Structure 1
Amino acid sequence: MLSCSGIVLHAGKTNKNAFKALIAAEYTGVKVELVRDFEMGVSNKAPEFLKMNPIGKVPVLETPDGPIFESNAIARYVTRLKADNPLFGSSLIEYAHIEQWIDFASMEVDANIARWFYPRLGLTVYLPPVEEAAISALKRALSALNTHLASNTYLVGHSVTLADIIMTCNLGMGFSKILTKSFTSEFPHVERYFWTMVNQPNIHKILGEVKQAESVPPVQSAKKPSQPKQPANPKAKDESKKEAKKEVAKPKAEEAGEEEEEAPKPKPKNPLDLLPPSKMILDEWKRLYSNTKTNFREVAIKGFWDMYDPEGYSLWFCDYKYNDENTVSFVTLNKVSGFLQRMDLVRKYAFGKMLVIGSEPPYKVKGLWLFRGEEIPQFVIDECYDMELYEWKKVDLSDDVQKERVNQMIEDHEPFEGEALLDAKCFK
């Protein structure tokens, strides 16, 4: 080990950005001490830490000459501690290519993995179009990387460089958290490269055993923002003083009663429950739909129109606004599944069909919905953010073409509007 005392890395033990410097240190033969008992959200908010990095991000490298932040800069510094370090290549062009792949690993791979993964954890706002764009960009990056690795064992030259270290750390979060085998199998050379790299002794020493994610994490429920505090109202203060005086005069028996828990208030009725009764019994239609296995058009479709009550229910077409971004089949299907899950709040009052259309990307997403009432329920618009991702059009039942379109969507008619169905999902 090179003698470089006083180099301390401030980060948690599982921080993948800290791994870059620690692995570089192993290859370089430099002793980098990882600070003990680092607690994210506490240690990085301490005054002494903020002196090293005013915005409180990790990792930070403490050196005898001053602190360094930004993980790639830290890894470069550690690598430079050894003169003519092969981690930076053996020529000017190799050095340039190493820097090229470091930028690629950060801006094309790491950034898009994060844009896909973090919203699913609830760390940032989850928006399906943003996720779709992130996955599409990530696939484009991995495709380029796969092509390069088809004829190269390492990113640059014939041995491990700093570019490989940073790329492996960035891919590591993806492989272990969100990139399932079904996803990475499209990029066999990337798979070969990653598993080769994580089993290099100096890298394995820092990363340990890496297991590939078995499934994509579900989207975490977004927390409702807390209500802002109302500004102080002088009149309210005066009234509260008056109320306080009144309470002083309360009998003791009444005071004792107030210590008991307040009885729960009755749950307010859903506005749809207050509508005039309808001749259409939604559950009867759902049973007919589910139980009809043959002669669907003659039995189920005919039964639907016999039951349908245009005064008590309404039919709506929906078309996804961002079909050009539906370039990944399983992501598009997951997007629709997530929408249906979030529509659970209206299950008692609705029936829906969602079609994913096309034999190749970009896929089209179209739907048909039956809602209680003559309009889309307002509470659904307010509480299910997916609604704004679709264009909604009320079905005109006087138009035979629209009515036939309803029939075809209910029965999963294929081809639909001249195209194959990738999938059809039912909400009932």
Structure 2
Amino acid sequence: MALILHAGKTNKNSFKALIAAEFNGVQIEYAPNFEMGVSNKTPEFLKMNPIGKIPVLETPDGPIFESNAIARYVARLKADNSLYGSSLIDYGHIEQWIDFASLEIDANLVSWFRPRMGRAPYLPPVEEAAIAALKRALDALNTYLACNTYLVGHSVTLADIIMTCNLLFGFTQLMTKSFTSEFPHVERYFWTLVNQPKFQKIVGEVKQIESLPPIQSAKKPSQPKESAKSKPKVEPKKEAKKEVAKPKAEAGEEEEEAPKPKPKNPLDLLPPSKMILDDWKRLYSNTKTNFREVAIKGFWEMYDPEGYSLWFCNYKYNDENTVSFVTLNKVGGFLQRMDLARKYAFGKMLVIGSEPPFKVKGLWLFRGQEVPQFVIDECYDMELYEWTKVDISDEAQKERVNQMIEDAEPFEGEALLDAKCFK
């Protein structure tokens, strides 16, 4: 009996087994005339998987469900392949990355995706938590891939196949270029793999999504009719009963139906400033030549010392910065976690030195006269730096601001390893 895969032909979970089959020289055929929502509800299918989910693989020894289990089975069908590595520790590391791909990447992508598609109630805090957890996972993966081509060893393993299929879902459904550009090593890894012939044969041409899908509400069809017809007659009596018996329950129900708007950020309540932060960011980005005369001069013309403040930061543990790419990834992660302040801040982070230990120093422009409290509360990196408010009446400090904005080299007598901008 041939191996028969019951699944849709565009399902990324079925791709895992099919790509593994390409690497392992195994033949898998799709079940003929499979129709999602119909074929997987039949008694015959439910005998193979009682909860009716796809994919399911029919084998001579019986059916297998769950996509990772199917992919593992296919990978082990022939012993003389490298999909499971060449040692026991390789096997452990492959299983480690399979779990990571499922629990840290795929699970958070699904938590982000389902409410946007109307398959679950859309709650902004839930989406924010899913995105934050996903970014944390991608940051860790990005750091690892900075010095590794594949997840385990020097060739494709099952870990790479499953990771790439899960990332495929993200790149094509949710993660725009502006989102993934924060993780350049993940981008390089993903595009390298999906363009390998054995991957490309299964997944075809891959195009990254250009914009985030709009939110589609989860609908409850019976609700509008009830509210339109029955509420005018019974609402007065119900209201009276609730006021006496369950005032708290009624308040809770009202909040679910019409949630109150989120409180404004305290920085939005400050008096208007003559400095328009986006104008400065635009000037900075568009100035390609004569930077000191155009951008720096423009900054001081725009700067409003009453509405904004400038801060120097210095990493407290520079003696630990002994590996260049680790230091650079550390700074990149900090800037990524500062995303919550993008509306209120501009920053420059410099990694200084031609040999370790490398020094990390920064300049930040914040709305208001203090480092914003919500940033201190939400971004744990803040406590890793010493923060000093810039005295713009001091010409030496003012010149240091200029040098940091323009990436002057040498900076304070040392070479620049890198300069990153938050805008």
Mark the CA change 1:16 to 1:185 in structure 2 (over 3 Å): closer, same or farther.
same
Q: Deviations over 1:20-69 (max 9, x none)?
A: 00000111101011112221111111110000000001100011111100
Could you say what secondary structure the match of 1:86 adopts?
A: coil
Per the normalisation by structure 2, the TM-score is 0.57
- In structure 1, the residue matched to 2:91 is 95
- In structure 2, the residue matched to 1:19 is 15
- In structure 2, the residue matched to 1:122 is 118
Distance 1:407 1:26 in 2: 61
Q: Flag structure 2 segments of 5+ consecutive residues without an equivalent.
A: 233-251, 277-306, 309-366, 375-423
Please state if 1:390 is matched with 2:253. Answer: no
Distance 2:144 2:95 in 1: 16
Mark the CA change 1:131 to 1:409 in structure 2 (over 3 Å): closer, same or farther.
farther
Give 1:173's aligned amino acid. Answer: F
Contact 2:55/2:67 (8 A) holds in 1: yes
1:76 to 47, 72, 79: 72
- In structure 2, the residue matched to 1:56 is 52
Mark the CA change 1:45 to 1:215 in structure 2 (over 3 Å): closer, same or farther.
same
What RMSD over aligned residues (CA atoms) do the two structures have, in Å? 3.4
2:271 to 383, 393, 408: 408
Per the normalisation by structure 1, the TM-score is 0.56
Q: CA deviation at 1:417?
A: 7.6
Q: Flag structure 1 segments of 5+ consecutive residues without an equivalent.
A: 231-264, 269-377, 393-401, 423-428
Distance 1:121 1:229 in 2: 23
Give 1:187's aligned amino acid. Answer: F
Give 1:75's aligned amino acid. Answer: A
Give 1:65's aligned amino acid. Answer: D
Counterparts of 1:258-269 in structure 2 under 5 Å? Answer: none
Could you say what secondary structure the match of 1:83 adopts?
A: coil
Mark the CA change 1:51 to 1:82 in structure 2 (over 3 Å): closer, same or farther.
same
Distance 1:213 1:97 in 2: 31
Contact 1:109/1:142 (8 A) holds in 2: yes
How many positions carry a matched residue from both structures? 262
Q: CA deviation at 1:133?
A: 0.7
- In structure 2, the residue matched to 1:178 is 174
Give 1:142's aligned amino acid. Answer: L
Contact 2:120/2:218 (8 A) holds in 1: no
Contact 1:408/1:416 (8 A) holds in 2: no
- In structure 2, the residue matched to 1:30 is 26
- In structure 2, the residue matched to 1:314 is none
Task: Answer with 1 or 2: which has the greater Rg.
Answer: 1
Distance 2:257 2:273 in 1: 26
Counting aligned pairs with the same residue, the percent is: 69
Could you say what secondary structure the match of 1:26 adopts?
A: helix
Distance 1:88 1:193 in 2: 19
Distance 1:143 1:49 in 2: 40
Mark the CA change 1:229 to 1:407 in structure 2 (over 3 Å): closer, same or farther.
closer
